[in-house]
Structure 1
Amino acid sequence: MYSGVVDALDVIPEFLNTVDQRSFSRHGRTHVGDERLASPGDLADWLAEYDLLVAGDELGTEDLAAAIALRTALRQSLSGEVDATTAFAAYPLQLAHDDSGGLRIAARSGRPWLDTILETVVVTVGRGDWSRVKLCAAPDCRWAFHDTSRSGRGRWCDMNVCGNRHKTRVYRERRQQAG
């Protein structure tokens, strides 16, 4: 298992995208969303992929529910659906000693993999990088992404897909209103 904080700008969007809410059509094909965490085994596979699970750990339905609850809280916080204070009230944090003799922020959920994700989010917030983790502004997408734009004001998971669809839609609406 990976102990400590992981690279949030890689792992957190991947965690958020374990639910795919995209429903747009592109080139005549409708995208069908899905749930990557449909079972405790799926959760174990995902955690193992990111080296967040101790070999031999058995995950149950409570673990799956905890992962989905955290993912939902993070997505709702990013989208502004709920206040962050409300979204994370169930995840208390405390100061703990780290290996170097200093202090670190620690989560104590009883699930080390969940604690790692929570602590990663906290460190990302503290560094000021959380503002770079976003949900696509397209209402029929909402894919999580790391905004790498210079200004940090990126709105689309992919400018060539969602950004282009938005700009085309706005252009057509303007032409229709003018005509």
Structure 2
Amino acid sequence: MSERVPAPGGLVLVQGLVNTLDLEGGVDGLDTADGRARFGLTTAEVPGARDLRESLRVTLLAHAGHPPHREVTPLGVLLAGAPLLVTIDTDDGSARLAPADGDPLLARVAAAIADSLTAGTWTRLKACEAPTCHWAYYDRSPAGRGRWCSMQVCGARAKMRRYRAK
């Protein structure tokens, strides 16, 4: 849906990975060569990427206060396989976390999460409350209490269901 705005910084990688699966339409972007290329995946790496995607989705649902949609490997367990190293730029002395050896996608996700923790943006990345959606979105609401990826779509549907139930 076009009104969905990308997350800031490295969180766009996490958001993009979670959103490779359209629950409503049943389309998985990782099934296509272009979808795999977007994340630098081979066909053999897709099952691991799907596990990571669903662990991320459960975490993003938790950010929004929603229960898990299914049982998954905890994200912390997966991220333990992607150690990060502190690197220092010798020109300006700046420091950053860089992935060590291992699964390239997992390492990039770990680095993006670490950067967002430092920036204070990690918990603003959430998954939509709608069970047929669970799309990852960045909550830009002032209070940080957004519930839907889009007020115009999922939010409107939920409000209409509540109205009709009355």
TM interval, shorter chain, is 0.7 to 0.9
1:26 aligned partner: none
Q: Distance in 1 between matches of 2:61 and 2:153?
A: 20
Task: Report if aligned partners of 1:156, 1:162 keep a CA contact under 8 Å in 2.
Answer: yes
1:82-93 equivalent positions in 2, closer than 5 A: 84-86=75-77, 88-93=79-84
2:53 aligned partner: 71
1:101-150, Cα deviation, whole Å (9 max, x unpaired): 44322322434454233211211122110122111011121111111222
2:140 aligned partner: 148
> In the TM superposition, what is the alpha-carbon distance from 1:157 to its structure 2 partner?
0.8
Q: Distance in 2 between matches of 1:62 and 1:126?
A: 33
Task: Report if aligned partners of 2:82, 2:102 keep a CA contact under 8 Å in 1.
Answer: no
2:158 is aligned with 1:166: yes
1:75-114 equivalent positions in 2, closer than 5 A: 75-80=57-62, 81=68, 84-86=75-77, 88-98=79-89, 100-114=92-106
Q: How many residues align?
A: 149
SS in 1 for 2:97: strand
Q: What is the aligned counterpart of 2:12 among 10, 24, 47?
A: 10
**What letter matches 1:95 in structure 2?**
V
- Give the TM-score normalised by structure 2: 0.73
1:130 aligned partner: 122
Q: Distance in 1 between matches of 2:60 and 2:78?
A: 10
Task: Report if aligned partners of 1:132, 1:146 keep a CA contact under 8 Å in 2.
Answer: yes
Task: Report if aligned partners of 1:40, 1:63 keep a CA contact under 8 Å in 2.
Answer: no
Task: Report if aligned partners of 1:135, 1:157 keep a CA contact under 8 Å in 2.
Answer: yes
- Give the TM-score normalised by structure 1: 0.68
2:112 is aligned with 1:120: yes
Q: Distance in 1 between matches of 2:44 and 2:118?
A: 29
Bigger Cα displacement from structure 2, 148-157 vs 62-71: 62-71
Bigger Cα displacement from structure 2, 11-20 vs 94-103: 94-103
Q: Distance in 2 between matches of 1:87 and 1:154?
A: 27
**What letter matches 2:35 in structure 1?**
D
Q: Distance in 2 between matches of 1:110 and 1:10?
A: 21
The structure that has the greater radius of gyration is 1
> In the TM superposition, what is the alpha-carbon distance from 1:40 to its structure 2 partner?
5.7
